Amino acid sequence: MAGISSPAINISEFPSNLNVLAIDTDLRVFEFINKSCKEDSHQVIICTESSSAVDVLLKKEIDIHLIIMELHMPMMDGYEFLQFLNKEVIDIPFAVMSEDYSSISMTKAFDLGACDYFKKPFNDDYWLNLWGSMFKHHIYLRRKKKNIDSLDDDEIMGKSDNSVCF
């Protein structure tokens, strides 16, 4: 089953050679992700433990463009991993994959910053939706940065007309 979003995006316009951090304990999932990513010239960094993924992100030796994680991992689940990303201000699109498709789980993941939520097992349509979510996230960040860069100091800090900002 494909993900929640259904973006209209031409995959050929999306950059190749992206680094995808995949976190799961299921080898079949890794095989699917690896196969799908190689078709689009993307590199997959595989972690079977959340702690290994944390190390990859903190070392910053590899520029990660997307994180895909099984929600119910041992030791550090997807929610805790999203909290870690927020705490460390690591702004990388994060997609959750899980057999748990309850509205409570989905809402919690989205509230913590997930950009998409996919039900396992998934198929090739999964990747179209996943890349679309990631593409939208990068456009959002680019626009946000452009808007901040275009503001002058008075606009960022508040006008110096003795007004108070809270």
CATH number for position 139: 3.40.50.2300
Residue 164, pLDDT score: 31
Question: What proportion of the chain, given as a percentage, has pLDDT over 70?
Answer: 63
130 alpha carbon, distance to own chain's centre: 9
- How many domains does the chain divide into? 1
Q: Indicate the pTM of the whole model.
A: 0.71
Residue 11, pLDDT score: 46
Mean pLDDT of 91-115: 92
In tens, the pLDDT along 27-85 reads 888 888 887 777 777 889 999 999 999 999 999 999 998 899 999 999 999 999 999 99
Strands 19-23 and 43-47: parallel
Q: Is the residue at 74 inside a domain?
A: yes
Q: Is the residue at 2 inside a domain?
A: no
**Tokens coding 138:** 């990068």
Neighbours of 108 (CB within 10 A): 16
Q: Find the domain containing 59 and state its range.
A: 17-156
pLDDT category of residue 165 using cuts at 50, 70 and 90: very low
From CA 76, how far away is CA 2, in angstroms rounded? 25
Query: Under 8 Å CB-to-CB from 152, ≥6 apart: which residues?
Result: none
pLDDT category of residue 137 using cuts at 50, 70 and 90: low
From CA 115, how far away is CA 107, in angstroms rounded? 11
Q: How far apart are the first and last CA of the chain?
A: 45
> Residue 129 has what DSSP assignment?
H
Q: Is the residue at 7 inside a domain?
A: no
* Host H or E run for residue 123: none
